[in-house]
Structure 1
Amino acid sequence: MTRPDLLPPGITVRKSAESTAPGHVFLAPKTAGLLQAPGTLQSGPMIVDDQGQPVWFLPRGTGALNYATAFQKQTYRGNPVLTWWEGAPIPTGFGVGYWVVMDQSYKEIARITAGNGYAGADLHDMQITPDNTALLTIAQPKLHRVEGIPRLVMNYVIQEVDVETGKVLHEWDGLEHVPVSESYLSPNPLLPYDYLHLNSVTLDTDGNLLLSGRNTHTVYKVDRKNGDILWRLGGKKSDFALAEGAPFSWQHDVSRESDGTLSIFDNTSADAAETGGGKPTDTVSRAIFLSIDTSAKTAELVRSYTSPDGLLSTSQGSTQLLPNGNVFVGWGAHGYYTEYARSGEVLMNSSFKDPAVNSYRAFRFPWRGRPTSSPAVAGRTSSDGMTVYASWNGSTEVVSWRVLAGDTPQDLSVVEEVDKDAFETSVALADRTAYVAVQALDSGGQVIGTSKAAPVR
């Protein structure tokens, strides 16, 4: 009623417990199909609460021809910001676009893209560093000899760029450091050979880079300045012996966590004898945490979390260690997300209602949104009075709504106060008036926003 322009996908909450971590859930819904009919659900960055209700949604397209990915909260110049990729995805699993940076008022403050003549940034990852630079991935076909034969290979490049100026500070070229022979992917003669498929880039605790090569089943530690590979974890040339349960394959979203472990979304668990060979012994994907001993060159499984729905995610996915020790997992292609206690107890399990909708990653972050827009209101007559509808896209502070009504926009008085119960709260009133408005109240009962007066239809 209040925001007919917003058509976010619905969410089913299968389980929700009070012991989930503080904060909201960050998603970027998109559809598996190429096209959708006008008037159906939209894709775009979306924040929801534990009940699956939208808190903020920004439509960025429909279908799979244009969408957003990797939506999360980051820190830029000491302030919390929202970041996501948007652009044109390519069906083979990469994209050409840019990264948006938005402040707490939902104002775009930066747009980050590739430098040095590349067409655009890839959709997989962008991390803002403490130096206010951005680490981003680029995917671009390049002629390269494979077994002595020239052919097109998908080359992945990492750039570190200054967010404010766009200047490229460092650049890492995948084909210069990772040979094609490390890949487990069988070439398709009709497509550029996507032998590496970098899908995450982040800083390690020493300031160097951690890269995830999906199609080589390898985590690479790379010197941030000179680009040298310091070590490989997993794959055909692993510098580490992986203990039982530690091997992984086709993985996503590698990060060094605050407890020193390495978190990985393991799409298809690999048998220890295969050491990353890509032949799964499990029928479900895992979120895993590994302990890495760089002196002994060993890697051990610390803990592992599998889907309560038995999901095998053949693409996408994310793993997040939350500040209170809980673990938040996005199940990629399946459109599910789950929060666990450290012990493995499932605290929350949710999914998109439409099975064609998924989110590349899913995260939980504390977020305080302060939109500069006004609350939205609508009034509709009914057989026994009228119903007033109130919403405020992006505000995280609304606890209750105060309804005002009257016969002119200038002569409105308070008629009701109700608790906020969804993205759009409805209030049934016995009397009819010509105009209505609403005031948003915070937890202290203070007015934090007032809508314009709207005629009752």
Structure 2
Amino acid sequence: MTRPLALLGLLACQRDPDDTGTTPLPDAIALTATAIPGAAANTLTVAWTPPDPGESWVEYGLDDAFDRRTPSLTGPTVQTRVLGLKSNRAYQWRAVTVLADGTRLESPAGDYLVPPPPQGLPELLYGEVGPTSALAGRYLLVQVGGVDQSWAVILDDEGDYVWTVGLPVGIQINHFVPDEDGTSVWIAQMDRYQLQDLGRIYRYDLGGAVLSDTRLPNEHHVAIPKAGTDDVLWIAHVTREQEVEPGVVWNVVSDEIRLAEEGSGEDYEVLYNFLDDGEDWFVPCSHVSATEELLGVPGYHEWTHTNSLVDAPDEGALYIAPRLHDALIQLDRETGEPRWQLGGVHSDFTVAADPRLPADSTSLWSHGHLNEVWADGFVLFDNNLHFAGGSRALEFAMDQDAKTAELVWSYTDPQGGVVPLLGDVRRLPNGHRLVTWTTWGRMTEHDPDGTVIWTAEAPVGLLIGRPTVLDDLYGLVESPRE
């Protein structure tokens, strides 16, 4: 059991006649405010019971500033969570209730020394967030990976950790997203070396407590909540023997999209299977001819390597991106029925020519990663493994009715370097773009002209992946995307 951090008397105060200060009422009712650190050490839960209903909150800050506060609550008993506390810093806090007649009840100040970040999690080299940056005053929810361990973290705009959860050695976080309820987050995991089937997704409250644990058989790359439901979606490996030409049979690993109720992942429904529901067999690129080991079994030919799954409830759609097919596919959100494909051998779209690519190429990018799609466009990190010129961030505009698309923005690494794995692009407020160069441990913010206006870097050997930008931790308000 966690020991209460403080039990503080709550005093009623009112302004003195000349309004120069506060004077405790002689008959003030002594109350207690209890503060308990969360399992995520950057949080503090404070509870108290006012003598009468009123508007209540916690004021807190560094260096006795008390310049921050929690959202207001009402009710006979108050319990609120203090968020956004920087690791390894000392905070002061006090509970406040203002009664209907204006009387302010205020506890004496309490102190809380936030523990340091988890062992092994180093500081990021966080560039100064200037006034033109879309990240000013905002938070980054991001996954950080080391050689054998990974962490789900939230950073403030000064680069300080304000929320951290680490998983055991050998377990990789492959997706980390806020829940639509505004009070919890989802962390999906897999075996870092894919020697065992350890797919799971956890839902944590912001205090760091596990709310649910859902086993996800054969999960890899992405697992997400299905908005507006109690269900979870994920990408899963599937294997079978496939005749690739007369008399030649390969052991093939492909993917399917699965759906299950939170907490009941073993009882899943298959929404879409590439080998059953997709196009007939073809060899999309030379990578398919190579063999690899899956869950300790050698000799598999990977056919799709689906690494992206986006839920778009407003469109009644799911978007998936099989990396080796260089395609974006829209599925019906309920039935899994494919609606169209953009890019790749079987594309349904006409796309304006990209001068960087060969004229006869069916690919619009080369083995990319994608996490954001909207009704008339998407952003994508093009790892660019088969063409010259280096990895790049791309934005496409598309017309789903006319089946046309056009590259409308791009940024290429100036040195022509290649990020072989992962990578991400996100839209930010005011037209900026956030690009994650995962295996380089780097994030860059770009204005519409492509100019780099902010950079963050991890120490050598650390990976950064799939950031989400938040306006506020209270309610996990995601920033507008423009």
After TM superposition, is the score higher than 0.5?
A: yes
2-structure distance, mates of 1:295, 1:120:
35
1-structure distance, mates of 2:398, 2:289:
32
Output aligned runs, 1:143-292, within 5 Å: 143-148=241-246, 149-163=248-262, 165-166=264-265, 168-178=268-278, 179-184=280-285, 185-189=287-291, 190-204=298-312, 205-245=314-354, 247-257=364-374, 260-268=376-384, 279-283=386-390, 285-292=391-398
Contact 2:235 2:256 (C-alpha < 8 Å) held by counterparts:
yes
Q: Establish whether residue 27 from structure 1 lines up as the match of residue 134 from structure 2.
A: no
Contact 2:134 2:428 (C-alpha < 8 Å) held by counterparts:
no
Q: Kindly provide the amino acid, as one letter, of the partner of residue 382 in structure 2.
A: D
Contact 1:263 1:319 (C-alpha < 8 Å) held by counterparts:
yes
Which residue is 1:69 aligned to?
Answer: 174
Contact 2:458 2:464 (C-alpha < 8 Å) held by counterparts:
no
Q: Kindly provide the amino acid, as one letter, of the partner of residue 362 in structure 1.
A: P
1:311 shift after superposition: 4.2
Q: Kindly provide the amino acid, as one letter, of the partner of residue 206 in structure 2.
A: Q
Q: Kindly provide the amino acid, as one letter, of the partner of residue 418 in structure 2.
A: L
Contact 2:201 2:223 (C-alpha < 8 Å) held by counterparts:
no
1:74 shift after superposition: 2.9
Contact 1:329 1:362 (C-alpha < 8 Å) held by counterparts:
no
Which residue is 1:303 aligned to?
Answer: 409
1:44 to 151, 159, 170: 151
Q: Deviations over 1:295-352 (max 9, x none)?
A: 3322101212334675421110112113443322221222111222334332321110
Which residue is 1:336 aligned to?
Answer: 442
Provide closer, same or farther for how the CA distance between residues 349 and 83 of structure 1 changes in structure 2, counting only shifts above 3 A.
same
1-structure distance, mates of 2:159, 2:380:
26
Larger radius of gyration: 2
1-structure distance, mates of 2:414, 2:228:
36
Which residue is 2:455 aligned to?
Answer: 349
Contact 1:96 1:122 (C-alpha < 8 Å) held by counterparts:
no
1:257 shift after superposition: 3.0
Contact 2:214 2:264 (C-alpha < 8 Å) held by counterparts:
no
Contact 1:182 1:235 (C-alpha < 8 Å) held by counterparts:
no
Provide closer, same or farther for how the CA distance between residues 165 and 232 of structure 1 changes in structure 2, counting only shifts above 3 A.
same
Output aligned runs, 1:127-138, within 5 Å: 127-138=225-236
1:57 shift after superposition: 1.8
Q: Kindly provide the amino acid, as one letter, of the partner of residue 179 in structure 2.
A: Q
Provide closer, same or farther for how the CA distance between residues 151 and 169 of structure 1 changes in structure 2, counting only shifts above 3 A.
closer
Which residue is 1:415 aligned to?
Answer: none
Which residue is 2:191 aligned to?
Answer: 88
Which residue is 1:395 aligned to?
Answer: none
Q: Deviations over 1:126-175 (max 9, x none)?
A: 24322332221111332332224332111211012222554535532121
1:14 shift after superposition: 4.3
Corresponding residue pairs, total: 342
Provide closer, same or farther for how the CA distance between residues 106 and 14 of structure 1 changes in structure 2, counting only shifts above 3 A.
same
Which residue is 1:98 aligned to?
Answer: 200
Q: Deviations over 1:204-243 (max 9, x none)?
A: 4421221011011111112234433221111111111221
Q: Deviations over 1:150-203 (max 9, x none)?
A: 321112110122225545355321211234415222322453111101111113
Provide closer, same or farther for how the CA distance between residues 151 and 186 of structure 1 changes in structure 2, counting only shifts above 3 A.
closer
Which residue is 2:479 aligned to?
Answer: none
1:91 shift after superposition: 5.5
Which residue is 2:163 aligned to?
Answer: 56
2-structure distance, mates of 1:71, 1:308:
30
Q: For structure 2, which runs of at least 5 residues remain unmatched after alignment?
A: 1-87, 89-114, 292-297, 355-362, 476-482
Q: Kindly provide the amino acid, as one letter, of the partner of residue 142 in structure 2.
A: L
Provide closer, same or farther for how the CA distance between residues 170 and 323 of structure 1 changes in structure 2, counting only shifts above 3 A.
farther
1:5 shift after superposition: 5.0
1:366 shift after superposition: 3.3
SS at match of 2:145: strand
Provide closer, same or farther for how the CA distance between residues 311 and 49 of structure 1 changes in structure 2, counting only shifts above 3 A.
farther
Q: For structure 1, which runs of at least 5 residues remain unmatched after alignment?
A: 36-41, 269-277, 371-457
1:363 shift after superposition: 2.9
2-structure distance, mates of 1:120, 1:85:
12
Q: Please, which moves more after superposition, 199-208 or 124-133?
A: 124-133
SS at match of 2:276: helix
2-structure distance, mates of 1:311, 1:363:
25
Provide closer, same or farther for how the CA distance between residues 16 and 309 of structure 1 changes in structure 2, counting only shifts above 3 A.
farther
Taking only the aligned residue pairs, the percentage that are identical comes to 21
Provide closer, same or farther for how the CA distance between residues 309 and 60 of structure 1 changes in structure 2, counting only shifts above 3 A.
farther
TM-score (norm: length of structure 1): 0.67
Provide closer, same or farther for how the CA distance between residues 327 and 80 of structure 1 changes in structure 2, counting only shifts above 3 A.
farther
2-structure distance, mates of 1:101, 1:69:
14
Q: Deviations over 1:401-442 (max 9, x none)?
A: xxxxxxxxxxxxxxxxxxxxxxxxxxxxxxxxxxxxxxxxxx
